[in-house]
Amino acid sequence: MHRVIQWSGGIGSWATAELVVREHPDDEVTLLFADVLIEDSDLYLFNADASERLGIPITRVCDGRPPFELFMDRRFLGNARIAPCSRALKQLPCRRWLGDHLDPASTVLYVGLEPSELRRVPGIVDGWKPWSVEFPLLHHTSVTKDDLLDWCRASGLTPPRLYRLGFSHNNCGGLCVRGGQAHWHRTLREFPDRFQWYEQQEQRFRAEHGNVAILKRQHCGRTSPLPLQQLRAEAGMAGVHPGALVDEGDFARYMRVLGLGERPRDRRRRLAVAR
């Protein structure tokens, strides 16, 4: 049996990989990682560290577009209710790789849902058919995220820094469009340059497609868009000085300035891991 971990660079997928390797030491295991290109650079460092510890290389797939490029192509702005990036940039590249390399009859997928995410199971199981999916962490009902982070540290690994900064998930460098207002307030405090980058992209999208926004606000039973620019203004936060940013046309350099994307040294370490 071939066992495929849906590897996100988060603590749940790491813990899932550890459990699967322990339970099935003789089976082939793949760490399947869909790169959306704007992950925090520390996530890629964690990928390299964890991959070395497990002795299993990261199998990277990538659509080639960051989320906002997808939103512009689709003319639809991702938000907490509907995020096309999850399917287009993660699920579809992974599904293509699975279809090209493995047989559903002899493959099990593993997703690192934590006990607090039980409600997501039916949708994930249905969405990955004909592949079978298992959720090892759900068998440990008393385990919390703090427990997983402690386990990670006890294993000799440094957990991804977004957890230390108070983010509940280690994805999209704190720029996940599924996050609510509290999430984006945290991004504004911890990464004001990243926040402004997304604010600028959202403003460009609004200029072309009208009064839409990543966030929504409810007041007196009515829902209205809440642009990031407005959220920042209401928080009393000034924008990042333009000199702190660079020309977005050089995407790789822009990512380095914002602390996003895989650094060359982490890429070399990732590629050096062999079975």
DSSP β-ladder status, 107-110 and 132-134: parallel
Query: How large is the average pLDDT for residues 204-231?
Result: 93
Question: Collapsing DSSP states into helix, strand and coil, what is residue 109?
Answer: strand
Res 249: pLDDT:
64
Distance between CA 72 and CA 91 in Å, rounded? 19
Checking if the pLDDT of 247 tops 70, the result is no
Domains of the chain are: 2-171+260-272 (3.40.50.620), 179-248 (no CATH)
Q: 247 Cβ partners below 8 Å, 6+ apart?
A: 253, 254
Q: In this predicted structure, what is the pLDDT of residue 274?
A: 76
Q: Give the pLDDT band of residue 134 (cuts 50, 70, 90).
A: very high
Regarding pTM above 0.85, the answer is yes
What is the DSSP code (8-state) at residue 21? H
- Secondary structure element (H or E) that encloses residue 192, with its range: helix 192-209
pLDDT-based confidence at 126, cuts 50/70/90? very high
Residue 243, pLDDT > 50, answer no
Q: Per residue in 2-11, pLDDT tens?
A: 999 999 999 9
Residue of 252 and 129 predicted with greater confidence:
129
Residues 6+ apart with CB under 8 A from 11: 112, 145, 148, 149, 152, 159, 160, 163, 170
The pLDDT value recorded for residue 230 is 95
Share of the chain above pLDDT 70, in %: 96
3-state class of 6 per DSSP?
strand
Judging by beta carbons within 10 Å of its beta carbon (0-12, 13-18, 19+), is residue 141 exposed, middle or buried? exposed
With 70 as the cut, is the pLDDT of residue 248 above it?
no
Return all residues near 117 (Cβ < 8 A) that are at least 6 apart: none
pLDDT in tens, 59-96: 999 999 999 999 999 999 999 899 999 999 999 999 99
